[in-house]
């Protein structure tokens, strides 16, 4: 069950992540320019970048495991449960992760904020999957 839910959540996270990334880059071209910095980011032509697409699925499986532990503590309808789950993950993982990213990588605060929002929404989408897929 964890793997099934995790893979479905991975698809949701991938779609949300790419959709938000496209939207943010379209509205704020400076973010797209930051991704072109080869001192920080690998180019899409690097063969290792194919592994990048595994991230949402790994995240989905890990989140499915976490959901199984926390599900009984979450209350309300599926949207409320997904929000509580995303908020908890955001506080535990995203805030510290974005803090260390901002202090150690030469990227803009705006990019860090975009990553944080995207991460929250990806986990929220995963939470919706978990709340609805039994």
Please give the full DSSP string across the chain, using - where no structure is assigned. -HHHHHHHHHHHHHHHHHHHHHHHHHH-HHHHHHTT-TTTS--TTSGGGGGGGGHHHHHHHHHHHHHHHHGGG--SSHHHHHHHHHHHHIIIIIHHHHHHHHHHS---HHHHHHHHHHHHHHHHHHHHHHHH--
Say whether pLDDT at 54 is over 90.
yes
Looking at the chain, the whole-number percentage of residues with pLDDT higher than 90 is 98
Q: Which two tokens stand for residue 124?
A: 């929220």
Say whether pLDDT at 56 is over 90.
yes
Q: What is the pLDDT of residue 46?
A: 94
Domain that holds residue 65: 2-132
Say whether pLDDT at 134 is over 90.
no
What average pLDDT score do residues 111-124 get?
97
Looking at the chain, the whole-number percentage of residues with pLDDT higher than 70 is 100
Q: What is the pLDDT of residue 18?
A: 95
Query: Domain total for the chain?
Result: 1
């Amino acid at each position: 069950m964890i793997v099934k839910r995790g893979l479905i959540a991975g698809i949701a996270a991938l779609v949300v992540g790419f959709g938000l990334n496209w939207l943010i880059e379209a509205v704020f071209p400076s973010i797209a320019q930051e991704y072109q910095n080869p001192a920080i980011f690998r180019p899409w032509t690097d063969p290792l970048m194919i592994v990048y697409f595994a991230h949402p699925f790994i995240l989905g499986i890990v989140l499915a495991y976490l959901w199984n532990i926390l599900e009984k503590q979450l209350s309300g309808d599926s949207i409320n449960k997904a929000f509580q789950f995303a908020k908890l993950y955001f506080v535990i993982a995203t805030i510290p992760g974005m803090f260390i990213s901002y202090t150690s990588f030469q990227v803009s605060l705006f990019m860090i904020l975009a990553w944080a929002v995207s991460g929250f929404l990806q986990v929220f989408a995963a939470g919706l999957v978990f709340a609805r897929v039994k």
